[in-house]
Structure 1
């Protein structure tokens, strides 16, 4: 690659007016795609050389050349694998019609899929490549989510578990003495964490802002989010569940994924299992906005599905802990045994205090709970194991 000739061509491009600036931005995107494609080709060639020379370590070569980390260099390899799975994406990159970021999105969305599931995604490669070249980012990601969801044979719970297992957090001190954080969280934990932080920003800084707050809007938001996180860590933050709004269509909430599912948290997170949304709605973690197939709003709010104070006091009199373990009652959530999303009433006879772990198992874990009139609880696991828990011993509140 002749760097000087490329540099000369770039610098020589005139930027006389708005039209020329717009044209240059289009050209930059095209060149960026060409460079991404070339980087992938280099990575593929390094793999070939490594097979013949064990001393060649492709990620190390990529990291050294880009002056970056091995983790970031591994993204190029993941991008290459995604382009191998969907060759039309590689063609779109090579022609400058899209960028490596779009291929990265495909790599992330298809991670953890089986070979058969990836083959179903690849079968729609032409559609993906056209979308990567023409659609705005949010529309492309929504189509990608739909394609991957339709290719999966499960409801996304297996991928969520893999993502939970990949949760990481690290920190270090930079050259200025500032503590830096870098974390990876599964979509469910991520939505809840960012929901708490956003709530804290609103609660603490709606009227007044701390000293030193930047004037730049983006920097100010980052500044306030950092202070909101500190407030949560030192106990100044509000307790309770985060308030996250999720847009979902009525059919999906009741029966699960379908071809025209609408599920949007407004955070950019894709592929949430429906069972997670049902659990959120059950315990009031989210404000569901439920829409019909025609897009007409059906339900806004959650008041009718949440146990009121009197009902929680009654449950507190019956149960001092989670109905299934020793977690104190104060850390439980009122679970609808017959789910509210399936028409279950918010009556005391249909409510059960469960800790977060067992509440998750009742929704995402596939456990089936049956509550008799005397509050004898029968649990059937996905494997068919049945356990029976006798009624609680009522005590004075």
Structure 2
């Protein structure tokens, strides 16, 4: 073995030996919850730090294997067609994962200019977070891919500011929460591209059927956000009603034992049957699609109010000459992760089953205090805006119920500060396991915090919940 860095090689050898000793002694079976949490955190840190170092090595492997070197490239000399194939063979990972490792490594490695001077990494904030063991490979790769995709339209300065924000917010997020964060970031960085993307997405909608030999039919399709919203709302609200009735059913013989996917299929069939036999529009929907848009965004998008100080000037899609200094404005749809433009909101608002919700800054009229036990529809919509669905697991708003943090029977007020959206499973888990809930802030700007029980986490470190976990404005 050629030892270009003998000290580093020796350190790595010792680290491998130490890890081997740990794994030989490791018997996690029967570990206490607190111990298991600690092991999970330690191994997670080891993996993140190892990935950061390995990414730098992968970048160098790629540099020494670049195409212009031909057969003299490092990978070709090792008998592989590409650096990704070489890394895949060495690690046992898929070629796509090896390619992402190279992508991240090249983005976080120091660079050199034409005269040999050392320059900062292409993505310095991602690089710093990875070296500190705070950001994993998957999150780093997703952030880098987004920024590289929009940098030409958004500009280097805007992308660098967004990179810093994304790195701060991405730490500890699940893949689903990170996806929501990146969707919002792309909408902010490339507002001019939102309307064309929506048009292309709508044109790409499809639904196909394939009939099997046994008479069954399989479905395959894709819907844009605007088309998917009423479909998701109709199915989710019906399934949620079934689950709630099942939860309240004390007679085991009468309990609905269908799985969620079976319920979804049955609801689709019921909707089709209703459509075939319906001779008039239903008098009133039992559920609605809620579209949320900040008042400032709405006013700016319509040209009534200019952008705030420090915001980038953009052109408004749909205007003949554009409107300099006016924002496109974005909204969110309950149950749909992709932010949508003000133009789509205007189209959707023409539907009688759509509630366009314009959000102000205060919540005074939503706090009704102790007089009412049940949360009002307006309060529930405000809770959905704050929590984004189940504040604990992130399930869509249609799968949740508004609960009192301090029970109403014990004097808890029926207002936003004492309310939280939880799905049935998380509600039982939090109460049964002894979690505590606190709301930091007021109104829809409040942030839910979940404090685990001591048996699960001896330090009882609070965990952020709700929309703030993946909202760039948190």
Instruction: Quickly name the TM-score band, shorter chain normalised.
Output: 0.5 to 0.7
Partner of 1:294: 362
**Contact 1:167–1:185 at 8 Å: present in 2 too?**
yes
Structure 2: which 5+ runs fail to align? 1-11, 71-75, 109-120, 211-215, 248-253, 312-328, 367-375, 379-474
Partner of 1:269: 337
**Contact 2:233–2:335 at 8 Å: present in 1 too?**
no
- 1:244 matched to 2:289? The reply is yes
- 1:9 matched to 2:26? The reply is no
The higher-RCO structure (CA 8 Å, 6+ apart) is 2
Structure 1: which 5+ runs fail to align? 173-177, 302-397
**Contact 1:33–1:98 at 8 Å: present in 2 too?**
yes
1:56 to 58, 78, 81: 81
Query: Offset at 1:35?
Result: 4.6
Alignment CA distance shift 1:141-1:236 (3 Å): same
Partner of 1:375: none
**Contact 2:61–2:83 at 8 Å: present in 1 too?**
yes
- 1:198 matched to 2:266? The reply is no
Partner of 1:365: none
CA–CA separation in structure 2 for the residues paired with 1:179 and 1:45: 51
How high is the TM-score relative to the length of structure 1?
A: 0.52
How many residues matched? 289
Alignment CA distance shift 1:47-1:150 (3 Å): same
CA–CA separation in structure 2 for the residues paired with 1:127 and 1:94: 17
Alignment CA distance shift 1:162-1:262 (3 Å): closer
* CA deviation vs aligned residue, 1:324-345 (integer Å, no higher than 9, x gap): xxxxxxxxxxxxxxxxxxxxxx
Query: Offset at 1:213?
Result: 7.0
**Contact 1:89–1:103 at 8 Å: present in 2 too?**
yes
Query: Offset at 1:113?
Result: 1.8
Partner of 1:92: 129
**Contact 1:79–1:104 at 8 Å: present in 2 too?**
yes
How high is the TM-score relative to the length of structure 2?
A: 0.45
Q: How large is the RMSD of aligned CA atoms in angstroms? A: 5.2
How do 1:1-397 and structure 2 match up within 5 A?
6-10=19-23, 12=25, 16-38=31-53, 40-41=55-56, 44-45=59-60, 47-48=62-63, 49-51=65-67, 52-53=69-70, 56-57=81-82, 68=94, 86-107=123-144, 109-110=146-147, 112-117=149-154, 119=156, 120-133=158-171, 147-152=185-190, 154=192, 156-161=194-199, 163=201, 186-201=224-239, 220-229=259-268, 235-236=272-273, 243-256=288-301, 263-267=331-335, 269-284=337-352, 286-295=354-363
